[in-house]
Amino acid sequence: KELVFSGVQPTGNLHLGNYLGAIKRFVAMQENYDCIYCVVDMHAITVPQNPADLTRQIREVTAAFLAAGIDPKRHIVFNQSQVPQHAELAWVFNCVARLGWLNRMTQFKDKAGKDRENASVGLYAYPSLMAADILVYRATHVPVGEDQKQHLELTRDIAQKFNNDWAESIAAHGFGEAFFPLTEPMIQGPATRVMSLRDGSKKMSKSDPSDYSRINLTDDADTIAQKVRKAKTDPEPLPSEVEGLKTRPEAENLVAIYAALMDTTPEEVLRQHGGAQFSGFKASLVDVAVTKLSPVADEMRRLMGDPGHIDAVLADGSARARALASVTMDAVKDIVGFVRAR
């Protein structure tokens, strides 16, 4: 059975990259897959978080999921900390993953920066918890942005090593040749890596100190217009072929954003706008961005007015997630050889 899992961290400033690279695609998966979408609050505390802000941001990511069109009745929407099996399986995976594997993770290197001795152990073990998030549901597909590719490869390595190390026990317990699936990353579409509006070589990110580097999901129409107008570009008009974007990262980024918002391809955008000056193209981009994002922002604001409703959605999703996760975790305990009450 094909099952989609993905998550978003409640670390504030949910932006257009999170929307186009992840949330908008989560919505599209609902037709053809059973989907589990998680607000990964335990990942968020791998770096310091103010408790009151964290609580609000967990509700805000949930509101973004619902406002974008995820149906929490047909699928599962919940926050990670309400399902203890994620942490339980992560511990087993900490004992499967090798130090050498984690040492290669570029996200840890980026986030820990120069002061690595002071980074949390949680930040280092982040990929192992992420593997547990996915595999505790034995999910087969994970829609993510390009930046998560390396973590998804590690998830497959962990699954494979678990399957190999306990192969005999897996077979003895009637699970056949492999217990965990080798999950497929789904990194697709024109906006798998949305770049900063100020610097075409950096990804759009929640933690960029410049608010002008990103379009936040909660920005109003005037703010979106101002940010797009100020976005860095070059002096040339838009090319008419995508090849002409190769050496022009800022232009390439704006065309990709336009294409993703319109559910079309960069080729098609250039068929319509090739030869245009940026002033004109940016005006069209503002129109499209405001038209597509305003309804989501309005609905997020409405939902945030009723935190009790959001918490109830998360409680319901968590109960359903726990029921699924506990089946996997019981099996893992049997495979590993732990004693448990039956």
80 binds ligand AQP, rule: CB under 6 A: no
Length of the chain: 342
Contacts by 169-172, CB closer than 8 A, 24 or more apart = 169/334, 169/335, 169/336, 169/337, 170/335
200 binds ligand AQP (CB under 6 A): no
Question: Pick from 56, 198, 206, 232: which binds ligand AQP (CB under 6 A)?
Answer: 206
Q: Is 116 exposed, middle or buried (0-12, 13-18, 19+ CB in 10 A)?
A: exposed
Question: Contacting ligand AQP (CB under 6 A), which of 86, 203, 227, 282?
Answer: 203
* Candidate ranges 204-212, 218-226, 322-330, 333-341; the one touching ligand AQP (CB under 6 A): 204-212
Q: Is 111 a residue of the active site?
A: yes
Q: Is 29 in the site for ligand AQP (CB under 6 A)?
A: no
203 is catalytic: yes
Shortest distance (Å) from residue 111 CB to ligand AQP: 7
Report the residue number, 23 or 329, with the smaller CB distance to ligand AQP.
Answer: 23
185 binds ligand AQP (CB under 6 A): no
35 counts as binding ligand AQP under rule CB under 6 A: no
3-state DSSP of 27-89 = HHHCCCCEEEEEECHHHHCCCCCCHHHHHHHHHHHHHHHHHHCCCCCCCEEEEHHHCCHHHHH
Q: Which is nearer to ligand AQP, 200 or 239 (CB)?
A: 200
Spot the catalytic one: 24, 203, 227, 282. Answer: 203
Torsion over CA: 269, 218, 36, 119 (sign): positive
Place of tokens 């995820």: 70
Verify binding: residue 207, ligand AQP, rule CB under 6 A: yes
**Contact call for residue 190 and ligand AQP (CB under 6 A):** no
Looking at the Cβ atoms of 76 and 335, the one nearer to ligand AQP is: 76
Q: What are phi and psi for residue 299, nearest 5 degrees?
A: -70, -35
Residues in binding contact with ligand AQP, number by CB under 6 A:
20
Least Å from the CB of residue 20 to ligand AQP: 6
149 binds ligand AQP (CB under 6 A): no
Distances (CA, A) of 247 to 104, 201, 228, 243: 29, 11, 20, 9
Residues 260/189, Cβ–Cβ less than 8 Å: yes
